[in-house]
Amino acid sequence: MQKEIAVRLFQNAKYGTTYAKGVRHQALFNATADIKNPKVKYVLDFYTYEHWEFLAKENQLEIVNQVRNEVDKDTLVSWIVRYDLATKTKTSVYGFGTLNMKTNELILCVLDGEAEVEDSWKLTAKPCRAIAGKNIAELLATNSELASW
C-alpha cells in the first residue's frame, strides 16, 4: 500500500535574487513533502530541467539519464532532501520529483532506506486559497485526508 503523503508547494519569493556575487536563487518553487507513517519530511526545490541537471552530483547522473526523456519545457524538477526535525540537518536521498506546470501533475520517487521510505507517487497539485497575512502554500498535492494528521 502506498504511504500517505502531503506535498505543499510555495512560490519561491527569492527567485532571481542574488545571495552571493554572481549567484542567484534559481528554484521557482520550494516544497515540503510530509509522509505520515513513518513520520518523515523531505524538502524539494523545483528548478528548470537545465538547472536541475547542472546541480547533479556524480551519484545522481543515473537519475538524470532516466528523467531526461520524460520532461518537457513545462516541467520543473527537484532533488529529494530529507529534513530531520530534531537535528535540523538535511540529507540528500536517492530520488527526484517532477512538477508539470501545465497539468499540475506531481511525480515523486523516493528511495530512502534509512527512513524506510521506498515509494513513488503520482499526484495532482491543486491551488490553495490565499489568506492575507498567512504563509499559505500555493499548491497542495496529497493522497490522504489531512484532517486526520
Average pLDDT, the chain: 91
By three-state DSSP, how is residue 51 classified? helix
Cβ atoms of residues 123 and 143 within 8 Å: yes
Q: Enumerate the domain spans of the chain.
A: 5-148
Q: Which pLDDT tens digit goes with each residue over 39-82?
A: 999 999 999 999 999 989 999 999 999 999 889 999 999 999 99
Per the rule left: phi > 0, alpha: psi between -120 and 50, beta: everything else, 30 is beta
Residue 38 makes CB contacts below 8 A (sequence gap 6+) with 115, 116, 117
Eight-state DSSP code of residue 114: G
Residue 138 to residue 114: CA distance in whole angstroms: 30
pTM: 0.89
Give me the mean pLDDT over the 123-129 stretch.
93
